Structure 1
């Protein structure tokens, strides 16, 4: 190869490296800017007329929202510093200090080293959020012993299952020319498997699930499910209140293995009709195949990600000073996953918000006469009990919201909002309904 060709390839690699740094920097700047706009918006709004909450709870919810965004800015900045560290020094550091004769073990150890360092550095933020922020605002019900136990279980599961996934990708990269396509197919299969097994694993290691004992409510829920053809392996109550005071419910699994899981906090705070309206909303997602649509969107994101990183030139790795080994490819994928997720989020948000409106219609229809009122009352209680600040900056909604603003949902359900201007306002409701 002549000198001019080498120089040309080096320049291309440098240009691509600068582009990668530029893209990640732009992602960080937009993320921080969005949070700053949200903080300013909420700080101004929390001093105004209270909406859906009492005056005291409205102010408290605003303060909590601001505190969360400030922490988000801090973690985003730390993530950026770590990105620079990994790109500039970190991967080379792991290469030089981890040694195994077996190539598979070497790749697993280096990628797991990357993941473990990331997990350890995130622990202070997780602790702060749980035992400072959530404690201050009355959400945390977990003890420090419980948090340590949960953290250790998550760590062990990451080591075991993470290692298996890394080994799988290593084997694919080592044996297939079109490795990026087969790696995508493998990871996409893992995502589907996780969705199927999530309720089972959560019940095994984190939450205690007990069958619903209220026979009357059980019969009403089953009647509701029959209307949409939903087949479930059972209706269960989760002891979520031992960790958190928030209200929630979810459907998990595929096929006949699907479970209906209700948080005990939800049963405590909602009336039977309101609870049925919430479940009717979730059944609306099932009847419209929304879970499959969401998985398809995730698949599209993964396909794009593997397609991009499966075709990076070797000169880029040389410019970074690392070998084009499977572990380097996997670490780069993991580093850039938040960027691709951020790019996809507005698209997924638009689709998801459309699906939420459609599910609201089903939920109100399944509730019979007055069903829309019961669903609206349930939404109001979720905002009240979760102390969610009901107003958000439009830019924040665009980038972060998977659910429509609660005030818009109430308006569509026919609830009178008086003189409230709901233009570009939103709800940060934490429940998945």
Structure 2
């Protein structure tokens, strides 16, 4: 058997088995006894419902990954990529045009196959547990806008990458890296004012106590805000969230309208203080830098496998091409990507603790961090969060610490502050 094919199949199967074991461990870690920290916050029936939500989501995810694994392996073994390549080449376009068409056809096939799972997740599972508020019209429009943005934004970027690898020689990987880094920065800059309004409405926060509290806290932290906005998150889900977005004069704080309904003023300010901590502690540029560095590693390794005959043989391809090399390399790079993702999640979880500390130390989290604790509890109940995830599941997949770990750290901070 082709060595590359054996490696790719092994990666797919081992990855699937690891996810299966971790998912089963996570289900076994569900504790029917409500943690004392949530007594009086999580009602018994709500807690049972949250655990059922975790079970349903986990089983559905396993079903989806099983179907994906089987279809992917079959597609590779029957030479599916070769048939897509033949269709793309039949239009007699340039190499870059053919590459765009090949990637587009493969992406469209993937999107179509994943669509039933997305529909079921949204309109059956999320509906069953009271989260979904998405109408069929909104779902279809979101799907169409997502595909359009993929073409309008991803198309030119992919064309540039293909051009560099075809004509720029030895240092093509470096030029690709620079192009992608620039693209990420520009998208981050434009997202709040161009991209995000395509999906949601952003309304300036009304004058009042909350606006004054936020403005006063931001001024005390010497943090300039371009604006404070609410977003109609309730159009799609009852879940609540808040985030900062943009840079410089485009920087703004956004609250989901669902968050405004679930938390009181002190708790909302505490959530803001946590998010501001990410900015003041430079977590966002750190994570962006790490992500861009990861891309540099990826492009360099990719440059070593372009047009590799053995790799193309593994996928039953008759023609060598740069564009197919990009797709095939993704299978080889998967283990490295997984390890790097685990590292990024580790850094992200550490950042969450640091942002919580910032909120407490600057007074934004309330006395002893209590306002932030209560806000986190309410959000956990509202989102039917799993209070007892398995440590291995957290290690592999969580970008945020488990809620009980965060609350424990906040209480220690509060106790240290009151004892000083």
Q: CA RMSD in A?
A: 2.1
2:159 counterpart of 1:167: yes
Distance 2:311 2:346 in 1: 36
Distance 2:252 2:322 in 1: 38
Counterparts in 2 of 1:259-298, with a 5 A limit? 259-298=252-291
2:395 counterpart of 1:398: yes
Which of 101, 109, 123 is matched with 2:101 structurally? 109
1:254 is matched with 247
Distance 2:58 2:190 in 1: 32
Q: Shift of residue 85 of structure 1?
A: 4.0
Q: Is the 8 A contact 2:204 2:230 kept in 1?
A: yes
Counterparts in 2 of 1:169-188, with a 5 A limit? 169-177=161-169, 178-188=171-181
1:430 is matched with none
CA change 1:193–1:32 in 2 (3 A) is: farther
Q: Is the 8 A contact 2:311 2:328 kept in 1?
A: no
Q: Is the 8 A contact 1:363 1:371 kept in 2?
A: no
2:238 counterpart of 1:245: yes
Which of 80, 87, 98 is matched with 1:90 structurally? 80
Q: TM-score, normalised by structure 1?
A: 0.87
1:315 is matched with 309
Distance 1:241 1:361 in 2: 30
2:417 is matched with none
Q: TM-score, normalised by structure 2?
A: 0.89
1:428 is matched with none
Distance 1:85 1:165 in 2: 30
Q: Shift of residue 397 of structure 1?
A: 0.7
Q: Is the 8 A contact 1:83 1:335 kept in 2?
A: no
Q: Is the 8 A contact 1:111 1:330 kept in 2?
A: no
Bigger relative CO (Cα 8 Å, ≥ 6 apart): 2
Q: Shift of residue 173 of structure 1?
A: 1.3
Q: Is the 8 A contact 1:277 1:366 kept in 2?
A: no
1:139 is matched with 131
CA change 1:78–1:195 in 2 (3 A) is: farther
Q: Mind listing any 5+ residue stretches in structure 1 that lack a counterpart? A: 1-10, 417-433
Distance 1:67 1:259 in 2: 36
* 131-140 or 180-189: bigger deviation: 180-189
Structure 2 residue matching 1:135: 3-state secondary structure: helix
Structure 2 residue matching 1:74: 3-state secondary structure: helix
Q: Shift of residue 333 of structure 1?
A: 4.1
Structure 2 residue matching 1:250: 3-state secondary structure: strand
Consecutive aligned runs of 4 or more in structure 1 exceeding 6 Å deviation:
none
Distance 1:197 1:78 in 2: 37
Aligned length: 401
Counterparts in 2 of 1:8-157, with a 5 A limit? 14-42=2-30, 45=31, 47-49=32-34, 52=38, 53-88=42-77, 89-98=79-88, 99-103=90-94, 104-157=96-149
* 161-170 or 316-325: bigger deviation: 316-325
CA change 1:249–1:67 in 2 (3 A) is: same
